[in-house]
Amino acid sequence: MTAEYKKLIQSLQAKQYAPVYLIDGEEPYYLDMITSHFEEKILEPHERDFNLMVLYGKDVEWADVVNACRRFPMFAERQVVILKDAAQMRSLTELAGYLENPAPTTIFLIEHRFKKADGRSKLVKFAKDKGIHFTSDKIKDDMVPTWIQNYGMEIGFHVGERESQILATYLGNDLQKIANEIEKVRINVPDEKQLTAELIQKYIGISREYNVFEFPEALTTGDKDKLYRMLAYFIANPKVAPMVLIVGSFYNQFNRLYQAHFLHGKPDKDVAAALGTWPSKVREIMGVAAKWQLPKVEHALMLLGEYSNKAVGIDSNTDGTELLKEMVGRLEALQYA
């Protein structure tokens, strides 16, 4: 949960309403949560029939929206007008005149999903002056595991570091999809308080034993049995994890080992923050780094850069499964060189 989103929701829950809200951005998850609050939480159920109006940008003109906002509420203190998919409204900028002088008995929400509204426009200027402008940015891939863990804490369902990494690797940065999958688990096991690898495999369909997060760890820790077992699985099931995804996972692991070499002697808390892990994992990572001398780690990162290019067809026409075998073989040979 972003600080801005939390602040906005807290003000709505406290019934501290502004006359105008403009919400935009590429991440629809927060936009949907805010819109849902406007639809379900501001008005009492018996007030909604006459005082909740939902319009769609592709179907209306600016005059229709202004007329809806200017009408008086019926049998209620206020009315709510929601303009969904505002980016599809051709005459959207014409609403600036209303935003400059909004009706005091109307709470007007403009939902501008999948892209930001033009920050130079009068629409945005008046939205900021008279109300609230909230932008929902797409979360960066490397921040998704942390988001998942924080989301788990918010809903009272613990998600550990490893489990959050597994979900992030396979579900990407689609926050709504991630939330839906976690909710699916909670519905099936309502008494559980923690998301385990077994629950992920059973209800989401992602195997802990055969996932790209565990794969590089098997190599760097020297667990040959697990490494060969996983290699055979990914070769037999190439659609489960594309070569590009596997290379990225190995890169993350070796990049972490590279950083670990420069963090010796620092407190576990500081090391954990630098490596993006929990303090309880620091000794384990440092132990692996000790087995991989810095020149070997640097060589591994160079190899992964080479295979990153080959995976997308640069300087190579080799089949993905052959590339995978070749890459793992060269990386493993480094460990015993």
CATH, range 214-335? 1.20.272.10
Q: What mean pLDDT comes out for the span 93-112?
A: 97
Q: Where are the domains of the chain?
A: 17-135, 141-204, 214-335
| 17-135 shares its CATH topology with 214-335 | no
What confidence score (pLDDT) does residue 221 get?
A: 92
What confidence score (pLDDT) does residue 1 get?
A: 60
Q: What mean pLDDT comes out for the span 67-92?
A: 96
Question: 180-195 pLDDT, tens per residue?
Answer: 999 999 999 999 999 9
Dist. CA 110–CA 85, nearest whole Å = 8
SS (H, E, C) 59-98: CCCHHHHHHHHHCCCCCCCCEEEEEECHHHCCCHHHHHHH
Residue 323 has pLDDT above 70, yes or no: yes
Class of domain 141-204 as given by CATH: mainly alpha
Class of domain 17-135 as given by CATH: alpha beta
DSSP 189: -
Q: What mean pLDDT comes out for the span 118-141?
A: 93
Structure tokens given for 24 = 């935009």
What confidence score (pLDDT) does residue 175 get?
A: 93
